[in-house]
Amino acid sequence: MTQIPRKSKKNKPQSGIVSLFTLLILITVTGCNQTQTTSSINTEQSPQLQEAASTPIQKSGKIKVVATFLPMYWFTKAVAGDTADVTILVPPGTEVHEYQATPENVRAIATANVLVKNGLGLEKFLEPTVKNAQNPKLTQIDTSKSIQPIEKISPVVEAGNQEEHDHEHTGGNPHIWLDPVLAKQQIINIRDGLIAADTANKNIYETNAAAYIKQLDYLNNQYQQTLQKNPNCTFVTFHDAYPYLAKRYNLKQVAVVEIPEDQLTPTDVQKAVNAVKKYKVKALFGEPGIDNKLLTSLSKDLNLTLRELDSLETGSTEPQHYFQAMQNNLQTLATACK
Ligand SMILES: [Zn+2]
């Protein structure tokens, strides 16, 4: 997934107000015509308020957990199994970085016991959405707790006008799930949060978390063993998603951000070319689902193979998909770094 970094800072509060306003309108509209039938919301005023008041006693007796986006859903589902009722806010395949909340999201949070987020400023949509949901009983799990964020471990070459460039993550780069060791901490945070919210099922959460952590340990070993053969392998990405992974396994990410989203000028292309030359780059990585002719022609010009590295922001909702996608990334890195 790609970031859309050129929104000016000045517009941010404004667009926040607009989207909140839009959200309110949407809630009203949906409440009136009942076209959304996914949940049994009654048609009286402020359904989300009513449900919040009578909060979360599920008929099944299960606690209701909402996870923000795909990796948080995998991790939560892995720890919860079928013991909790886990749903996802950002549909897989939808951009998380610039996601706009829907009325369904507000309703989901209004009736949930627990909300699981990545944190580190990734889920920009969340704060106003949680506010709208007015659920005083909501427990929030920030999976980035106890993780030391990094800003830019590797050089970031910014295409385009630097003054316009406004892509920064408040609190550090958020892509911690792409480092299996940090993913372990995320699992631990989810486990502890679920136990706090649902102590009766402590043993189940502990057992499930331990099993997933074991797999993460195995994955980490595989990464270490495979990538230690090519230390300092330098690669270019067009999404600043791999600084944690690069740091963990002694690789170097040169993130040339902005390319897939924005129209490139010849100057931008030249900057990317210069970066590739400057850093003795071995690999050029696009992302699954992004068909970009410019990247293809750039890779031809530079005589580098264009490969796909997956930031795991889209894909199957099955928790084991994390390991498949990470294995694919490892093979891609190993091949590219040879
Ligand atoms: Zn990302």
Can you give the three-state secondary structure of 186-247, one letter per residue? HHHHHHHHHHHHCHHHHHHHHHHHHHHHHHHHHHHHHHHHHHCCCCCCEEEECCCCCHHHHH
* % of the chain beyond a pLDDT of 90: 53
Quick one: pLDDT band at residue 327, thresholds 50, 70, 90? very high
pLDDT of residue 273: 80
Check if the beta carbon of residue 275 is closer than 8 Å to that of residue 324.
no
Quick one: pLDDT band at residue 78, thresholds 50, 70, 90? very high
pLDDT of residue 274: 82
Total residue count of the chain as it appears in this document: 338
Query: What is the whole-number distance in angstroms between the Cα of residue 2 and the centre of ligand 1?
Result: 6
Query: What is the whole-number distance in angstroms between the Cα of residue 33 and the centre of ligand 1?
Result: 36
Query: What is the whole-number distance in angstroms between the Cα of residue 223 and the centre of ligand 1?
Result: 21
Query: What is the whole-number distance in angstroms between the Cα of residue 146 and the centre of ligand 1?
Result: 20
Tokens for 198?
């649902």
- Mean pLDDT value of segment 78-88: 98
Check if the beta carbon of residue 50 is closer than 8 Å to that of residue 73.
no
Mean pLDDT is lowest, of 53-67, 100-114, 312-326, for: 53-67
* % of the chain beyond a pLDDT of 70: 71
Q: Residue 237's Cα: distance from chain center in Å?
A: 17
Res 198 pLDDT > 90 = yes
More confident residue, 287 or 318: 318
- Mean pLDDT value of segment 91-104: 91
Res 318 pLDDT > 70 = yes
Mean pLDDT is lowest, of 86-95, 163-172, 246-255, for: 163-172
Query: What is the whole-number distance in angstroms between the Cα of residue 150 and the centre of ligand 1?
Result: 14
Query: What is the whole-number distance in angstroms between the Cα of residue 87 and the centre of ligand 1?
Result: 21
Res 301 pLDDT > 50 = yes
Mean pLDDT of the chain: 79
- Supply the DSSP symbol for 263: P
Res 170 pLDDT > 90 = no
Give exposure, 223-249, as e/b (b: 16+ Cβ within 10 Å): beeebeebeebbbbbbbbbbbbbbebb
pLDDT of residue 288: 76
pLDDT of residue 152: 57
Query: What is the whole-number distance in angstroms between the Cα of residue 98 and the centre of ligand 1?
Result: 10
Map residue 107 onto helix, strand or coil: helix
pLDDT of residue 214: 98
- Mean pLDDT value of segment 170-186: 92
pLDDT of residue 293: 73
Torsion of CA 12, 15, 19, 24, to 10 degrees: 110
C-alpha to C-alpha distance for 312 and 319, rounded to whole angstroms: 12
pLDDT tens for 38-54 read 333 333 334 444 443 44
Query: What is the whole-number distance in angstroms between the Cα of residue 173 and the centre of ligand 1?
Result: 9
More confident residue, 135 or 232: 135
pLDDT of residue 263: 52
pLDDT tens for 246-295 read 999 999 988 775 544 445 566 666 777 887 888 888 888 888 766 667 77
Query: What is the whole-number distance in angstroms between the Cα of residue 240 and the centre of ligand 1?
Result: 7
Check if the beta carbon of residue 33 is closer than 8 Å to that of residue 167.
no
Quick one: pLDDT band at residue 157, thresholds 50, 70, 90? low
pLDDT of residue 97: 85
More confident residue, 186 or 55: 186
Mean pLDDT is lowest, of 5-9, 242-246, 320-324, for: 5-9
The residue among 247, 216, 220 whose CA lies nearest residue 231 is: 247
Residues 6+ apart with CB under 8 A from 41: 31, 47, 51, 107
Query: What is the whole-number distance in angstroms between the Cα of residue 192 and the centre of ligand 1?
Result: 26
Query: What is the whole-number distance in angstroms between the Cα of residue 255 and the centre of ligand 1?
Result: 12
pLDDT of residue 277: 83
Check if the beta carbon of residue 264 is closer than 8 Å to that of residue 198.
no
